[in-house]
């Protein structure tokens, strides 16, 4: 059987956007360099809470908090207020690096533990 | 610069207990929420900020048990937001293949088409999802994103013996129909796409009833529909710590042993009560219900000691699900990073 014989149903009712799709993931709302609200599309507590956590642990960050304004919207807001010498964007990038470092170490340790 | 006191924790024992443990009392759970602010313990000389080297030093993973479908391991030295993110990703963001479109050519059974289609979607398909792409909306099916299964069952009465053949349509009746060069994607017989179990009943049939169906599997994630979730469940709990004061002796000790429905306690030769099997504790708090015992028995959980249990549906091994979850977590960060860099430049 070939796929050409497949009935032509191309419409999809699914809302998930595959990662390969190029969408504007983050929007920045800010009028000062040291504080900003980042509006994430299609992210939830998974990244929100993890980012909030690593940002709070960063000594250059004064405040971070996240919220999901409405459960039916696929948006997540992250608010950052930094101390001096660093912009909110830089602190967010640092936070992402921290999460990646933690994750890589967890993966390495897990693989070692399996052997 | 790592202060010596940071590795030992806060010197005040009460504060240290609050920082590292969740306490259970008769009236409820105390200190359930961790304190993550970097300067929270500055006044007592403890640096609460994140430090990769310190994290690496304290972090441990021990595998407790592994069967083909279930993995139990402990993860020590990581805080709840990270552990929870991994748990959430395992449940709802690790992709698998599942039946998504069902073309019903003939169905003379008593099960309605839409109910049947829904049942088919729930059958776990054993195939490595990493070999496939996500099917993009409004695109035709290709061999790289779709698997086809055929379900053709006819129920008959054997003319000679009178026995009914194919009384139940089972998942083993789902036959993979390779398209194009899909056969080359699975050179090993055991890697070939098939339902995870052979004996899942799909529907009951009576003699003369026929079903003839084509099923199209797509790759997607559990957030879209739970049928794409690779785990039966992925969960964690915190390591329990139960301490009994040495004043509990003799009759009191026996009374405490009787109170515990899970038989957690043992009496040592010295007469002291110890929690010999803390992992069996279900946190029922039966042992501290009597106010007299509440003062002498302490039930706590270690805030950064997680006991993960990952039960797989079969498409991926439990260990692979965890590995994939970490990779997806990193990939999520990369996507956000790219997006910010694009905005700033």
Give pLDDT, residue A13: 62
- CA proximity to B17, closest of B36, B30, B4: B30
pLDDT at A99 exceeding the cut of 90: yes
- CA proximity to B38, closest of A102, A96, A52, A88: A52
Ranges of residues in chain B whose predicted pLDDT is under 70: 1-7
Q: Up-side HSE of residue B193: CA atoms within 13 Å toward CB?
A: 32
In contact, B103 and A11? CB cutoff 8 Å = no
B216 and B101: one domain? yes
Q: How many domains, chain A?
A: 1
Asked, for residue B335, whether it belongs to a domain, the answer is: no
**A106 with B56: Cβ contact below 8 A:** no
Q: Up-side HSE of residue B3: CA atoms within 13 Å toward CB?
A: 14
Q: Taking residues A41-61, what's their average pLDDT?
A: 95
pLDDT at A18 exceeding the cut of 80: no
String of DSSP letters for B289-320 = SSHHHHTTEEEEEEEEEEEEEEEE-SSS-HHH
Question: For chain B, what is the total number of helices (H) and then of strands (E)?
Answer: 9, 18
- The answer for residues whose C-beta is within 8 angstroms of residue A114's C-beta and 6 or more apart is B63, B319
Give pLDDT, residue B221: 94
CA B187 and chain centroid, separation: 30
Asked, for residue A17, whether it belongs to a domain, the answer is: no
**B333 with A40: Cβ contact below 8 A:** no
* Cα A67 to Cα A85: distance, rounded to the nearest angstrom: 26
Residue B231: which H helix or E strand, with range?
strand B231-244
pTM, two decimal places: 0.91
Q: For residue A25, list chain B residues with Cβ-Cβ distance below 8 A.
A: 335-336, 338-339
Give pLDDT, residue B318: 95
Domain boundary residue, one of B163, B196, B224? B224
B78 and B107: one domain? no
The enclosing domain of A95 has a CATH number of 3.30.1360.10
* Cα B244 to Cα B299: distance, rounded to the nearest angstrom: 9
Q: Taking residues A91-95, what's their average pLDDT?
A: 96
Asked, for residue B332, whether it belongs to a domain, the answer is: no
In contact, B23 and B17? CB cutoff 8 Å = yes
Asked, for residue B325, whether it belongs to a domain, the answer is: no
String of DSSP letters for B47-115 = --S--HHHHHHH-EEEEEEE-SSEEEEEEES--HHHHHHHHHHHHHTS-EEEEEEEEEEEE-SSS-HHH
Q: How far is CA A81 from CA A21, A73, A108, B202, B275, in A?
A: 31, 25, 33, 56, 46
B244 and B189: one domain? no
Asked, for residue A7, whether it belongs to a domain, the answer is: no
Residue B120: which H helix or E strand, with range?
helix B113-121
- The verdict on A105 touching B (C-beta cutoff 8 Å) is yes
The enclosing domain of B273 has a CATH number of 3.30.1360.10
Q: Which domain holds residue B172?
A: 96-224
B198 and B262: one domain? no
Chain A residue with minimal CA distance to B177? A1
Asked, for residue A54, whether it belongs to a domain, the answer is: yes
Give pLDDT, residue B102: 95
Give pLDDT, residue B273: 92
Q: How far is CA B34 from CA A96, A111, B31, B41, in A?
A: 21, 28, 7, 13
Of A27, A56, A113, the CB nearest to B36: A56
**Through-space distance between the first and last CA atoms of chain A, rounded to whole angstroms:** 43
* Cα B33 to Cα B18: distance, rounded to the nearest angstrom: 10
* Cα B267 to Cα B217: distance, rounded to the nearest angstrom: 57
B114 and B189: one domain? yes
Give pLDDT, residue A7: 47
* Cα A33 to Cα A63: distance, rounded to the nearest angstrom: 14
Asked, for residue B324, whether it belongs to a domain, the answer is: no
Angle between helices B318-344 and A45-57 (to 10 degrees): 70
pLDDT at A49 exceeding the cut of 50: yes
How would you list the strands of the sheet with A61-67, edge to edge? A26-32, A35-41, A75-82, A61-67
Chain B residue with minimal CA distance to A38? B340
B104 and B163: one domain? yes
**Through-space distance between the first and last CA atoms of chain B, rounded to whole angstroms:** 33
B200 and B238: one domain? no
Give pLDDT, residue B192: 92
B276 and B211: one domain? no
Touching A: B residues 99-158, CB under 8 Å: 101, 103, 133-143, 146, 148
Asked, for residue B320, whether it belongs to a domain, the answer is: no
Of B148, B223, B341, the CB nearest to A1: B148
- CA proximity to B137, closest of A37, A34, A23, A67: A23
B259 and B159: one domain? no
**B38 with A28: Cβ contact below 8 A:** no
B80 and B102: one domain? no
B104 and B151: one domain? yes
Give pLDDT, residue B7: 56
Chain B residue with minimal CA distance to A101? B52
Q: Which domain holds residue A55?
A: 24-108
**B343 with A26: Cβ contact below 8 A:** yes
Of B56, B148, B220, the CB nearest to A14: B220
CA B284 and chain centroid, separation: 23
Domain boundary residue, one of B224, B258, B277? B224
**A107 with B332: Cβ contact below 8 A:** no
Q: What percent of chain A has pLDDT over 70?
A: 83
**A9 with B101: Cβ contact below 8 A:** yes
Query: How many CB atoms are located within 10 Å of the residue B77 CB?
Result: 17
How would you list the strands of the sheet with B96-107, edge to edge? B96-107, B210-220, B146-154, B174-177
Give pLDDT, residue A12: 59
**B93 with A46: Cβ contact below 8 A:** yes
- CA proximity to A61, closest of A52, A48, A50, A71: A52
Give pLDDT, residue A3: 52
The enclosing domain of B117 has a CATH number of 2.170.120.12
Q: What tens digit of pLDDT does each residue of B82-98 get? A: 999 999 999 999 999 99
Asked, for residue A11, whether it belongs to a domain, the answer is: no
B30 and B83: one domain? yes
Give pLDDT, residue B242: 94
Q: How many domains, chain B?
A: 2
Give pLDDT, residue A21: 66
């Amino acid at each position: 059987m070939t796929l050409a014989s497949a009935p032509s149903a191309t419409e999809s009712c699914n809302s998930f956007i595959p990662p390969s799709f190029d969408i504007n993931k983050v929007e920045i709302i800010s009028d000062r360099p040291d504080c900003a609200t980042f509006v994430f599309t299609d992210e939830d507590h998974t990244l929100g809470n993890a980012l909030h956590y690593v940002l709070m642990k960063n000594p250059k960050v004064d405040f971070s908090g996240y919220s999901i304004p409405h459960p039916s919207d696929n948006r997540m807001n992250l608010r950052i207020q930094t101390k001096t010498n660093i912009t909110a964007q830089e602190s967010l990038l640092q936070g992402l690096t921290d999460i990646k470092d933690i994750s890589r170490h967890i993966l390495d340790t897990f693989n070692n533990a399996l052997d | 610069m790592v202060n010596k006191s940071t590795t030992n924790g806060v010197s005040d024992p009460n504060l240290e207990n609050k920082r590292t443990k969740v306490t259970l009392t008769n009236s409820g759970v105390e200190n359930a929420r961790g304190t993550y602010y970097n300067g929270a313990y500055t006044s007592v000389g403890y640096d609460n900020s994140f430090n990769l080297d310190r994290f690496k030093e304290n972090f441990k993973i021990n595998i407790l048990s592994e069967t083909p479908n279930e993995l139990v391991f402990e993860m020590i030295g990581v805080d709840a937001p990270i552990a929870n993110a991994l748990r959430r990703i395992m449940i709802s963001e690790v992709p698998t293949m599942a039946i998504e479109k069902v073309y019903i050519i003939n169905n003379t059974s008593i099960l309605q088409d839409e109910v049947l289609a829904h049942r088919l979607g729930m059958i776990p398909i054993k195939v490595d999802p990493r070999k496939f792409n996500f099917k993009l909306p409004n695109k035709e099916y290709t061999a790289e994103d779709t698997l086809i299964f055929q379900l053709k069952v006819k129920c008959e009465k054997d003319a000679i013996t009178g026995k009914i053949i194919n009384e139940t349509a089972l998942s083993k009746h789902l036959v993979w129909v390779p398209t194009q060069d899909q056969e080359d994607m699975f050179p090993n017989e055991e890697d070939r796409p098939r339902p995870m179990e052979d004996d899942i009943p799909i529907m009951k049939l009576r003699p003369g009833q026929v079903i003839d169906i084509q099923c199209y599997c797509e790759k997607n994630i559990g957030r879209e529909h739970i049928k794409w979730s690779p785990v039966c469940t992925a969960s964690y709990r915190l390591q329990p710590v139960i301490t009994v004061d040495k004043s509990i002796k003799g009759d009191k000790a026996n009374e405490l042993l009787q109170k515990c429905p899970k038989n957690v306690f043992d009496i040592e030769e010295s007469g002291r009560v110890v929690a010999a099997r803390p992992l069996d504790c279900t946190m029922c708090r039966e042992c501290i219900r009597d106010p007299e015992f509440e003062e002498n028995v302490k039930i706590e959980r270690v805030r950064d000691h997680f006991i993960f249990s990952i039960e797989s549906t079969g498409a991926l091994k439990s260990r692979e699900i965890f590995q994939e979850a970490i990779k997806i977590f990193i990939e999520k960060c990369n996507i956000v990073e790219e997006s910010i860099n694009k905005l700033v430049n």
